Structure 1
Amino acid sequence: MRAAAAAVQSQRAIAASAVPEDAEASLRAAVRQEYLDALPIAAAIFRLDEPDLLWVDVANEPFTDLVGWTAVTRSRAATEADIVNGSGLADTIVQFLKSKEESRQFESSDGRVVGARHFVVRLARLTLFPQLGTRCLVSLIDRTAQVETERSLRAEMLRDSLTGLPNRLAFNERVEKVLEDPAFLPGNHAVLVVDMTRFSRVNECVGSIAGDELLIAFARRLFSSLRGGDFLARTGGDEFGLLLRLDKGLEDATQAAERIRAALSAPFKLSELEIRVDCAIGCALLGGSEELAEEVLRNAQFALKRAKATGAVRFYEPNQARAARRRFSIETELRRAIEGRELELAFQPLIDLKTGGVSGFEALARWNNGRRGAISPVEFIPVAEESGLIVPLGRWALEEAIETLAGWDRKVGRTLPLSVSVNLSPIQVARDDVASCVASALAASGLGGERLTLELTESAIIQDPRRATQVLEDLKGLSARVAMDDFGTGYTSLAYLQRLPIDVLKIDRSFVSAMLGDGDSIAIVRAILSLADALGMDTTAEGIDSPELAKALTRLGCTHGQGFYFARPLPPEAVLDYWLARSA
C-alpha cells in the first residue's frame, strides 16, 4: 500500500512538473473564477500591493454587476469601483489585510444619501498561495430590501396614524437625543404636555368619528403655534407633547403656553357643530438628572395634573414625583397590611355634654408600618380611596369595631351602655353592599344594630343621592344610627336633610375650634344646632380641645362632643378603664 501511494505521489509530481508555469497560473485563476462563479452572492478576491494599493484580481458576475464592471479579465484597481471607494470599504479592507485577523464581518452601504444599497460584508484572509500576495475574499450580501422594510416599519411605529404626528415613542427618542447631546445644558429645553379638557364628554355626545376629527383639528392648531425647531407629538389619547428649546428660560415656555391657548381660543367647526375646547398645560424643564426621557414626560404630566385642578399653566416641582412614588409605595404596603390584618383601631370617646358621661366611641383606623413607623390616616385613607382599597379596609374596620365592642361586653359580663361609630367612605357607599356587611358583622358578634352608628360625609350623598338614600334606609332597617360627618363643609341641601334618615349631625371642627374668637363661627354653630333641633336630630361637636369650648357648646344645646379635651383616641385595652373612670 505504501509503495502504491508513493507511486501516485511521484506521478502527480511528474505531472505537475510537466505543466508550464504560465499554464499553472492560468489553471489556478480558472479554478478561482469557477469557485467565485458558484457563489450566489457578490464576491471578489482583493490583493494589497505596496504602498496601500488595493486591487481586484478575480470577481464573479454578481460583483461586477454591482460595481458596474464588465467581466474581470485582469487585475483592476479597487478605486475604480464607486461602491468600494466611496463608502470607505476600501480603507477597511486595507486595514484588515494589514492586520493579523483571519476574518471580519460588518455592515456597510454604498455611501449614497438617496437610494443607498446596504450590505453585510465579510472579509476572509487567503493564505494558501502566499506567492500570490496579501489577499482576502470579499463577499457582499445585499440586504437593501430588508433595511428599507425595517425603516418603513419603524416609521410606522413612530407615527400616530390618526393625526400624522410623531407618537409617544418618537417623542421620547427626540428627548433622549437632547439629553445625550454633549452640548446639552440644563434648563435649555422644556417639555410641555397639553391635554384637551372634557374630550371624553365631546366623544360621548358627538360620537367617535367626530371626536377623531376634533383631535385632528386640535393637532393642526397646536402645530400652527410652534416655532421653528419645536417638536410636537401625540403622546396619548387627547394628550400632546411639545419639546421646546428655551432661549429665555421659563419665559419661552410661558409664551408657548400663551400661543397654544390663543390658537385654541376660536371654536372648532365639525360638520354642523361648533365646539369650543380648552386645554390644561403642564411643563417640566430638562435638568439633565433624568435618566430616561419617559421620566421627563412623566414630570410634565405631574404638573399637568395640577394644571387640570387650577386651570393655569403649572411647572413641575421635584417633590411631586417623590410624593407620587410614596403614594404608590404606601398603596403596595397598605394592600399587604390589610390582607395581613396589620392595622389597628383606636377609639375616641363620645361624651354626653349634659352629664359628662361616655355614651360611645368612634373607631379610627391606625397603621404602624414596620418600616416607615406610624402613617397618618390623613395620608393612607386618600391612597386607599384612590386605589379602591378603601372597600376591604372599610369592611375590616366595621367588623373589628363591632367585635371589639362585643369583646368589652364579654369582659365585664354584661351589655354596656356604649355604642361604637364607624366611618363610611363615599367609595364604600358607591361600590360595596354596606348593609349586607353590617348585617353579617352584627350577626357574627351578636350585637343589635342600635349600638352601631355609621358616619358618612356629605360627598357620599351628593355623588349618588339615589344610591345613598337606599343605603341609609337599609341601615335603618338594621336599627343602626346614621350620622352626617363634617356637616357644614359640603353642599347638602335642606331637602336632603329632611328626606334622608339621618340621626346625628356632626359639626365640623373648623367651626368648633374658631367659635370662641369668631362671631361668624358661633352663628354657624348656633344655626346648625337649631336646624338639628327642628329636624329632631342629635348633634356632635368635633374638635373640642378646651373646657371653655365644652361649656359654650353645652349652653348652646349641643348633645355630644369629642376632642382632645376629653381624650385622645385610645387603644382598645384602655377603653374600659377610661369608661369606668368617667362613670365614677
Structure 2
Amino acid sequence: MAWRSAKRSTAENARSGEAGRDLAWAVVGCVAAVVLAVLTGLGATVTDALKHSPVDLSAVIGLVLVLPLAAAVIARRRYRDANAVRDELDRLALHDPLTALPNRRFLNERFEQIIRRSQRAGGRVAVFVLDLDRLKNVNEAHGREAGDQLIVAVTTRLAQLVGEASTVVRYGGGEFVVICPDTTGGPSAERLAATMIEGLEAPFSMGHDRVRLAANIGIAIAEENCSQPDDLIRDARSALNKAKQGPGGYAMFDRSIAQRVTPSTTERRLREALERGQFRLHYQPVVSLQTQRMVKVEALIRWEDPERGLVSPGEFIPALEETGLIVPVGTWVLEEACRQAKRWQETYADRAPLAVTLNVSTRQLAQYDFPDVLTRALTVTQVDPSLICLEITEGALMHDVEAAWTMLRTAKTRGVALALDDFGTGFSSLSFLRKFSMDILKIDKSFVDGLGHSREDTTIVEHLIGMARGLGMVTVAEGVETADQVKYLRSLDCHMAQGFYYCKPQPAEVIDQIMGEPTTTGWRPEQVPATNGAHPSPATIGIDAPW
C-alpha cells in the first residue's frame, strides 16, 4: 500500500512541476523575444519590410504580442488545473470514498496535531474503536449496494451522536475510530460510549426492512507523551475484545489487559494451546422462567494461557476462524461437551439429565465430514444424543443454505437437537425455521435489552415467542441482566433465559456444585456472584428437564 501511495504522490508532483515549468518558459520566452528584438534591431527591420508589404503591420504586431501572452495564459491555466487535481487526489487519499469520512492515512498524519491541540486546551484525547456486527448479513441477503447504504446511514447517525468536536474515522468494513479531543477522562468517555451504543442499536430502515446492528466499543485515553495512533488504537482494540464478553457493550483499557496476542504469534500459540490442552470449556446456566431452575447449560470455550491467564474469547476466536483452526478446535469442543454431558448424566443419575448446547461455526458446517465428526463424538463418549444441542447462527445458515441444510438434516438423524441463534438480526425468513426443523429459537440480546423500555423491542420479542410457540419450538432469551427483563419474559410465556442476571459462564466444577444441591433447595444465586444487575430474589435455581 505504501509503494502505491508513493508512486501516486510522485506522479502528482511530476504533473504539477511540468505545468509550472511550462508557465515559467512561456514568461521567459515573451521577455526574451522583446529583449532580442531590441538588441538586434530586428523590430525596426521587420517594420521597414512590412511597410513595402501588403500585410497589415498592426496585425503582425498584434500577433507577435498575443501569441506569447496566450501561451502564458494556457500555461497558467494548466498549472492551476494541475494543482486542483493534486488537491483533489490529496483529499481522496485521506478520506474514505464511500462515506467521505477521514481514513486511516488521515489519522496517521493528523493524530499528533489533534493530541497537541487538546493538550494545549487542557483536555485529554479519548480514542474509541467501534465495531458493528451483522453488516455481513446485510451484504449476503441484499447485496453489497444495500450494505454500503447501511454504512452511510451508520456514518450519519454516528456523526450526530459524537458531535462536531470529535473526529470520526472509518478504519475499514464495520470498524470506526472516534477521536474525542476534549474529554475529562474515563467517566466522560464511558458516557459517550454508552450514548453511541444506544444510538447505533436503534433500528435502521432499509426499504421495507428494519435492520438492527450490535455495537461494541473499546476505549483508550491518550497519555501525555502519546504521539502515534497505533499504540492507542491497539489498546482500544484490547478493550474492545473485553467489551464483547460482558454487559454494557463497552470497556475501558487498563494495564491488566495490556498483554496481547500479536498477529505474528497468534497461529503458532493457538496450535500450541490445542496440543498442550490449554483450552477449557465454561458453562452458562440456562434457566426455566417458570420454575427458576437450571435446565441446561451452554458450553463456551476459554483459553487458559500459562503466561496471561484466562484469555478473552474475543481475542482468539476471530484468529481461529481466520486460520482455519476453528475446525480442529471445534471438534475438541464437541467431544469435550459430549464427555461432560455424559459425566453429569452418570454422576447425577437420580436427577433430570442436564443438556448441553454448543456453538457450531460456519467453517465447521462447510466440512464435508462434519456428520462423521459428530457421529464419532457421540459414539466415543456414549452420551445420549438427546442431551446435545448444536447451536447455529442465522448468518452461518445463510452462508450456504443448501449445504447447511444437508449437514443439519444429517445431524438431526443422529438424535441431537438444533438451536437457531440470533434469529431476527439478519434477513432469513420464516421458511428457514420450517426448512431446518429447528427445536430451539434463541432471542438475541439486542431485543431483550429493550424490554420494558422500547415498544418496538417488546413487540418483536412477543411476536418471536408467539411464532416459535406456533411452530412447536422452545424459546430462550439471551443476555438477560435485570429482574424487569425476567418479569416481562415470563409474562410473554418465554420458556427459558440465560445471562449475567443468573450467572456468567462457569467451570464445570461450579456446575457440579449446583447439581449437588438438594432438589428441595436447588442452587441459590448468591453461590456464584452475578456481575451485573440484581440477583433473583429468594427464588432458587435447581434442575429441571432439559428441553
TM-score by length of 1: 0.49
Match of 2:89 in 1: 256
Larger Rg: 1
Which residues of 2 match residues 452-491 of structure 1 at below 5 A? 452-491=388-427
Matching of residue 412 in structure 1 with residue 234 in structure 2: no
1:283 aligns with 2:219: no
Distance in 2 (alpha carbons) for counterparts of 1:327 and 1:519: 44
More helix by share: 2
On the 8 A contact 2:93/2:105 being kept in 1, the answer is no
> In the alignment, what sits opposite 2:495?
559
| Separation (CA, whole Å) in 1 of partners of 2:234 and 2:451 | 39
The gaps in structure 2 that reach 5 residues or longer are 19-83, 113-168, 180-227, 238-259, 523-540
Aligned counterparts of 1:478 and 1:386: Cα–Cα separation in 2: 29
| Superposition deviation, residue 457 in structure 1 | 0.5
Q: CA deviation at 1:517?
A: 1.5
Which one-letter code corresponds to 1:192 in the other structure? S
Select the residue among 284, 307, 313 that pairs with 1:377: 313
- Superposed, 1:271-310 pairs within 5 Å as 283=105, 309=173
Shift of 1:495: 2.1
Deviation at 1:313, TM superposition (A): 13
Give the drift of 1:565.
2.0
Partner of 2:230: 318
Instruction: Return the offset for 1:395.
Output: 0.8
Q: Which amino acid aligns with 1:533?
A: R
Gap runs ≥5 in structure 1: 1-167, 173-190, 195-218, 231-250, 266-279, 290-304
Which position in structure 2 is the counterpart of 1:347? 283
Question: What SS does the aligned partner of 2:449 have?
Answer: helix
How big is the alpha-carbon RMSD for the aligned residues of Structure 1 and Structure 2?
4.0
SS in structure 2 of the partner of residue 192 of structure 1: helix
Secondary structure of 1:563's match? coil
Partner residue, 2:454: 518
Residues 487-498 of structure 1: pairs in structure 2 closer than 5 A: 487-498=423-434
**1:537/1:310 Cα in 2 relative to 1: closer, same or farther (>3 Å)?**
closer
Give the superposition deviation at 1:325: 7.0
Measured at CA, do residues 333 and 557 of structure 1 come closer, stay the same or move farther in structure 2, by a change above 3 Å? same
Cα 1:344–1:532, aligned 2, differ >3 Å: closer, same or farther?
Answer: same
In structure 2, distance between residues paired with 1:555 and 1:477: 35
Work out which of the residue numbers 485, 488, 506 in structure 2 matches 1:549. Answer: 485
2:293 alignment partner, one of 314, 339, 357: 357
Shift of 1:379: 2.1
Q: Deviations over 1:323-360 (max 9, x none)?
A: 69724433332221112111111111111112222211
Query: Retained in 1: the 8 A contact 2:284–2:297?
Result: yes
Matches within 5 A, 1:92-491: 192=5, 227-228=15-16, 255-258=88-91, 283=105, 309=173, 317-319=229-231, 326-413=262-349, 416-431=352-367, 433-491=369-427
The residue type paired with residue 230 of structure 2 is P
- The 2-side partners of 1:260 and 1:357 are apart by 58
CA contact (8 A) 1:452 1:480 kept: yes
The code of the aligned residue for 1:431 comes to Q
Change (3 A) 1:549 1:259: closer
Please say if residues 193 and 283 of structure 1, whose CA atoms lie closer than 8 Å, have aligned partners that are also in contact. no
Q: 1:336 to 1:222 in 2, by over 3 A?
A: same
- 1:151-198 CA deviation, whole Å, 9 max, x = no partner? xxxxxxxxxxxxxxxxx9xx86xxxxxxxxxxxxxxxxxx7389xxxx
**Partner SS, residue 345 of structure 1:** strand
Q: Give the Cα separation in 1 of the matches to 2:174 and 2:403.
A: 30
Q: How far apart are the structure 1 equivalents of 2:284 and 2:175?
A: 40
SS of alignment partner, residue 502 of structure 1: coil
Tell me: CA distance 1:350–1:260, structure 2 relative to 1, closer, same or farther (3 Å): closer
CA distance, structure 1, for counterparts of residue 283 and residue 342 of structure 2: 14
Residues 2-13 of structure 1 mapped to structure 2, 5 A cutoff = none
Q: State the 1:380 CA deviation.
A: 1.4
Report percent identity of matched pairs: 31
Aligned partners of 2:498, 2:514: CA distance in 1, in Å? 14
Aligned counterpart in structure 1 of residue 470 of structure 2, from 520, 529, 534: 534
- The answer for the alignment partner of 1:583 in structure 2 is 542
Structure 1 residues 16-27: aligned runs within 5 Å: none
1:477-527 Cα distance to aligned partner (Å, 9 max, x none) = 111111011222122122222222211110011111221211111011111
Contact kept, 8 Å, 1:282 with 1:314, in 2: the verdict is: no
8 Å CA contact 1:192–1:283 kept in 2: the answer is no
Distance 1:488 1:414 in 2: 39
Paired residue secondary structure (1:347): strand
Partners of 1:335 and 1:565 in 2: CA distance? 35
State the alpha-carbon separation in 1 of the partners of residues 6 and 318 from structure 2. 26
Judged with a 3 Å threshold, the aligned counterparts in structure 2 of structure 1 residues 253 and 507 are, in CA distance, closer, same or farther, namely farther
Cα deviations by residue, 1:509-568 (Å, 9 ceiling, x for unpaired): 111122121111101111111221222211100111222221210110111111122222
Judging changes above 3 Å, is the alpha-carbon distance between structure 1 residues 409 and 306 closer, same or farther for their aligned structure 2 residues? same
Q: More strand per residue: 1 or 2?
A: 1
**More relative contact order, 1 or 2 (CA 8 Å, 6+ apart):** 2
Q: Deviations over 1:122-160 (max 9, x none)?
A: xxxxxxxxxxxxxxxxxxxxxxxxxxxxxxxxxxxxxxx
- Partner deviation per Cα, 1:368-401 (whole Å, 9 max, x = no partner): 2222232211221112111111111111111111
Instruction: Verify the 8 A CA contact 1:222 1:260 in the aligned structure 2.
Output: no
Instruction: Report the Cα distance in structure 1 between the residues aligned to 2:349 and 2:92, rounded to whole angstroms.
Output: 75
Residue in 2 aligned with 1:114? Answer: none
- Alignment partner of 1:531: what SS? helix
Displacement of 1:456 after TM fit?
0.9
Q: Contact 1:281–1:314 (CA<8 Å) still a contact in 2?
A: no
Q: Name the amino acid aligned to 1:318.
A: D
CA contact (8 A) 1:406 1:446 kept: yes
CA distance in 1, matches of 2:371, 2:6: 44
Contact 2:261–2:315 (8 Å) recurs in 1: no
The Cα of 1:311 is off from its aligned counterpart by 12
- Can you list the C-alpha shifts for 1:11-68, whole angstroms capped at 9, x where unaligned? xxxxxxxxxxxxxxxxxxxxxxxxxxxxxxxxxxxxxxxxxxxxxxxxxxxxxxxxxx
- 2:409 corresponds to which letter in structure 1? E
Q: Which residue of 2 aligns with 1:59?
A: none
Aligned residues: 322
3-state SS of paired residue (1:479): coil
Question: How far, CA to CA, are the matches of 1:448 and 1:549 in structure 2?
Answer: 33
Q: 1:336 to 1:312 in 2, by over 3 A?
A: closer
Task: Measure, in 1, the Cα distance between the counterparts of 2:507 and 2:380.
Answer: 23
Which secondary structure does the structure 1 equivalent of 2:392 belong to?
strand
